[in-house]
Amino acid sequence: MSVAALLEGKRVCVCGGSGGVGKTTTSAAIALGMAAQGAKVAVVTIDPAKRLANALGLEELENEPRRVEPERLAPSGLEIRGELWAMMLDPKRTFDDLIERLAPTPQRAQEILGNRVYRELSTAVSGSQEFTAIAKLYDLDREGDFDLLVLDTPPSRNALDFLEAPGRLTSFLEGRALKAFLRPTGIGMRFLGRPAGVLLGGLRKITGVDLLADLSTFFQLLGGMTEDFSRRAAQVEKMLKSDSTAFLLITSAQQESIDEAIWFRRTLEKGDLPFAGVVVNRVHHDILGDGDEQQVGAELAGLLTPELATLVTQNFHDYHVLARRDEQNIARLEPELDGRPVLLVPHLDDDVHDIEGLLRIHRYLFASAEERAQMIAEVVA
Amino acid sequence: MTGKGGVGKSTVAIALGLLGARSGLRTIVVELANQERVQKTFEHQAEHFREVELAPGLFTISIDPQHSMDEYLRIRVGPIGHAIGSSRLFQAFAMATPGMRELLSIGKVWELAQLQRKTRGAAPYDLVIVDAPATGHGVGILRTPRTFAEIARVGPIAHQGRQIAATIADPSFTAIVAVALPEEMPVNEILTLADALDREGLELEHVIVNAVYPARFSEEQVGELDAALARSESSLGSTAVRAALSEHLRSDTQREQIARLRSGLESGIAELPFLFADPLGRPELEQVADALAAGLNEPDRAGEVVT
């Protein structure tokens, strides 16, 4: 099955997985392929390699998708029937935009943007990338300018951070319990009674009073906005769970990444999120096939000096170890997938960070199963 | 130790731990990701938030914000700490406060590194190796104590935040080590990390470049291989030669990236060879430790794996 078939009828494609597995490049290659097939596609990336960013003409500060000029894609030799757009996410800017939009008055927005707790929340804190990536995705989806959005997710420590972040931030912003806590005269405090007074004392003792004061100001500033945040969170969740969304898992064939992929797959299932399939990058394919490894040395004897033949044989052996390892790891992944497809992309000879490189990955992703097998056989034979 | 996901940071952290223990240092490897990977590697039954001895002189602990907070409250606030910690309001407050989770984790790391341990009956360590989250978060977690000190300004958190921040910034106490792969993105990330640390007044002490392919073939030999491929009539022979040329190309690309790293950094750089084995067990880890020792002693050469 090809990526095109997997994404048929989809409006959102979320590429998840641990860092360092070629997620950004794969996302871009998917977007390129879908654009070639005639769709108007935007890829939202977080932190692309400089060469890839240059190749796509991405500017860091825009925070809005920009069309990748067809001339840039010309070296790929691929006919682009649709449009490819790309943007690099600016978490701080996305967060600020959101506040400006949801705040009742411009003055209130400015107060929030200047609040110390907000500034920490929107920049220093891990989770803000995750939160804003989803926020941006939601806005782009709602604006409806694109046939397909491809999201390259942030390189989280683990995939769960990414899925949890919106909820965690919402619960912080919502903080009903906390608000009651911070307004000693409010209904909450009366309801809580004396033990709360003791708690509050303890809390002051631990955190220092200023932190509480800043938080309190922050919540007062947010005021009625928290309901908008919750409503948004509910809508975002609806979008992520919708039939027109596809979660694609990107992984390498190494043990750690495969473990992570299996775990991510289970998390998606628990969260009732629509899982479409797995892309395994950098696969060492079996180059021995039915051959006999003992034969390699003999075959090389007539071809190379003994010294060089030994080196080549050793290299072959090492490669074959990796191929067997990859095969075993992928075999562990397969039973987890409920029949959803695994797309294998071979280990290419160098880093892939330009248009030609995207095209090479794209060829594997957009081939049918038979074509892919054929291409791999050609590489191997 | 910090580094992007998938670069083998945990493996290198364990290998460094083995080296520490071998040289007679009471060493602990701390995991923040809540995965108990170290214990799994040593086929030790996973235990959470407890200092476990894996080999003579080598300990590990897997820590998380929740347990760190409970412990902090017990030590800091005494009996009432428990009441506060178990309050749902307090839980919601603490866990939802931006940066609090990071502060609690790094606070526990700091406690482990104290010569006078706050945990009752706990012995001090000579070396504490922290398997920190991926680099972006890594800087965040190092910056958190100072950020908190600035936000809270007064009170115990501010005080302790300042104390921890000072410890992190003291190069005679703390070394920041990054693990990277010799590829474009990871190298970029390390260069960015060095800049980010610099802005925080911190120094990247060492970079360990992991999984470096051997340079098996000389340019002359590559020429011979090209010629051999052209006249080869054996399918298996051609495949083997192609695999050799392919690895040579990758190895070359890696060396370009290592050169880029060396020219962009003042930190020490050690190289670790690619291991053609997976999964890594104890024997392979000992090998990595050997190679690491060699690489750290001779920073301009890749450590050789002794097999």
pLDDT digits (tens, 9 = 90+) for B169-220: 899 999 999 999 998 878 888 898 899 889 888 899 999 999 999 999 999 9
Would the ipTM clear 0.85, i.e. be above it? no
Dump pLDDT digits (tens) for A124-179.
545 567 777 888 899 999 999 999 999 998 765 554 555 565 555 556 555 554 55
Q: What is the pLDDT of residue B303?
A: 43
Residue A252 CA to residue A260 CA, distance in Å, equals 10
CA distances for A296 relative to A291, A308, B241, angstroms: 9, 13, 10
Task: Say if CB A304 and CB A244 are below 8 A apart.
Answer: no
Domains of chain B, CATH where assigned: 9-216+266-297 (3.40.50.300)
| β partners of residue B257 | none
Residues of A in contact with B249 (CB under 8 A): 349-350
Q: Which A residues in the span 269-288 are in contact with B, Cβ-Cβ below 8 Å? A: 287-288
Residues of B in contact with A322 (CB under 8 A): 276, 278
Task: Say if CB A263 and CB A270 are below 8 A apart.
Answer: no
Strands B127-131 and A245-252, bridge-based pairing: unpaired
Dump pLDDT digits (tens) for A284-295.
988 887 778 888
Which residue of A256, A262, A328 to mutate against B (max B Cβ within 10 Å)? A256
Residues of A in contact with B232 (CB under 8 A): 303
């920049």: which residue's tokens? Answer: A123
Q: How far is A38 from chain B (nearest CA, A)?
A: 31
Cα angle value A194/A200/A203 (rounded, 5°): 150
Name the token pair of A225. Answer: 């906005």
From the list B4, B140, B246, the residue facing A349 with the nearest CB is B246
Dump pLDDT digits (tens) for A282-335.
999 888 877 788 889 899 988 999 999 999 999 999 999 999 999 999 999 999
Strands B52-55 and B58-62, bridge-based pairing: antiparallel
Q: Mean pLDDT across the stretch A84-102?
A: 88
Residue A268 CA to residue A212 CA, distance in Å, equals 36
Residue B59 CA to residue A96 CA, distance in Å, equals 45
Cα angle value B181/B186/B191 (rounded, 5°): 120
Q: Which helix (H) or strand (E) holds A237?
A: helix A225-241
**Cβ–Cβ gap B241/A300 under 8 Å:** yes
Task: Say if CB A131 and CB A169 are below 8 A apart.
Answer: yes
Q: Mean pLDDT across the stretch B71-96?
A: 65
**Cβ–Cβ gap A316/B240 under 8 Å:** yes
CA distances for A192 relative to A207, B88, B131, angstroms: 20, 12, 41
- Percent of chain B past pLDDT 90, that is, above it, reads 37
From the list A157, A303, A325, the residue facing B232 with the nearest CB is A303
Task: Say if CB B67 and CB B85 are below 8 A apart.
Answer: no
Domains of chain A, CATH where assigned: 3-172+225-285+292-380 (3.40.50.300)
Task: Say if CB B254 and CB B183 are below 8 A apart.
Answer: yes
Which residue would you say has higher pLDDT here, A271 or A40? A40
Q: Which residues contact A71 (CB under 8 A, 6 or more apart)?
A: none
DSSP annotation string for A48-80: --HHHHHHHT--TT--S-EE--HHHHGGGT---
Rounded CA Rg of chain A: 25
Q: Does position B9 have pLDDT exceeding 50, yes or no?
A: yes
Task: Say if CB A68 and CB A57 are below 8 A apart.
Answer: yes
Q: Does position A210 have pLDDT exceeding 90, yes or no?
A: no
Q: How far is A91 from chain B (nearest CA, A)?
A: 13
Most confident of A237-246, A365-374, B61-70: A237-246
B-chain residue closest to A165, CA distance: B96
Residues of A in contact with B136 (CB under 8 A): 126, 129, 154-155
Q: How far is A81 from chain B (nearest CA, A)?
A: 31
Q: State the SS3 of A318-339.
A: HHHHHHHHHHHHHHHHHHHHCC
Least confident of A66-80, A299-313, B152-166: B152-166
3-state secondary structure of A280: strand
Residues of B in contact with A183 (CB under 8 A): none
Q: How far is A183 from chain B (nearest CA, A)?
A: 14
A337 in contact with B, Cβ within 8 Å:
no
Task: Say if CB A250 and CB A16 are below 8 A apart.
Answer: yes
Task: Say if CB A127 and CB A161 are below 8 A apart.
Answer: yes
Dump pLDDT digits (tens) for A199-208.
556 656 655 5
| B89 phi, psi to nearest 5 deg | -60, -45
User: Residue type at A83?
Assistant: E
Q: How far is A219 from chain B (nearest CA, A)?
A: 12
A-chain residue closest to B152, CA distance: A211
Most confident of A239-253, B111-125, B160-174: A239-253
Task: Say if CB A374 and CB A39 are below 8 A apart.
Answer: no
Residues of A in contact with B241 (CB under 8 A): 300, 303-304, 312
**Cβ–Cβ gap B228/A296 under 8 Å:** no
Residue A34 CA to residue A10 CA, distance in Å, equals 11
Task: Say if CB B28 and CB B61 are below 8 A apart.
Answer: yes
Q: Which residues contact B164 (CB under 8 A, 6 or more apart)?
A: B106, B107, B110, B145
**Cβ–Cβ gap B276/A318 under 8 Å:** yes
| β partners of residue A222 | none
Q: State the SS3 of chain B.
A: CECCCCCCHHHHHHHHHHHHHHCCCCEEEEECCCCCHHHHHCCCCCCCCCCEEEECCEEEEECCHHHHHHHHHHHHHCHHHHHHHCCHHHHHHHHHCCCHHHHHHHHHHHHHCCCCCCCCCCCCCCEEEEECCCHHHHHHHHHHHHHHHHHHCCHHHHHHHHHHHHHHHCCCCCCEEEEECCCHHHHHHHHHHHHHHHHCCCCEEEEEEEEECCCCCCHHHHHHHHHHHHHCCCHHHHHHHHHHHHHHHHHHHHHHHHHHHHHHCCCEEEEEECCCCCCCCHHHHHHHHHHHHHHHHCCCCECCCCC
Q: What is the pLDDT of residue B233?
A: 86
Q: What is the mean pLDDT of chain B?
A: 83
Q: Which A residues in the span 116-145 are in contact with B, Cβ-Cβ below 8 Å? A: 116-117, 120-121, 124-127, 129
Which residue would you say has higher pLDDT here, A350 or B237? B237
CA distances for A79 relative to A34, A70, A76, A84, B272, angstroms: 11, 9, 8, 12, 43
Model confidence pTM above 0.90: no
Inter-chain contacts counted by CB atoms under 8 A, chains A and B:
215
Residue B157 CA to residue A211 CA, distance in Å, equals 10
**Cβ–Cβ gap A155/B33 under 8 Å:** no
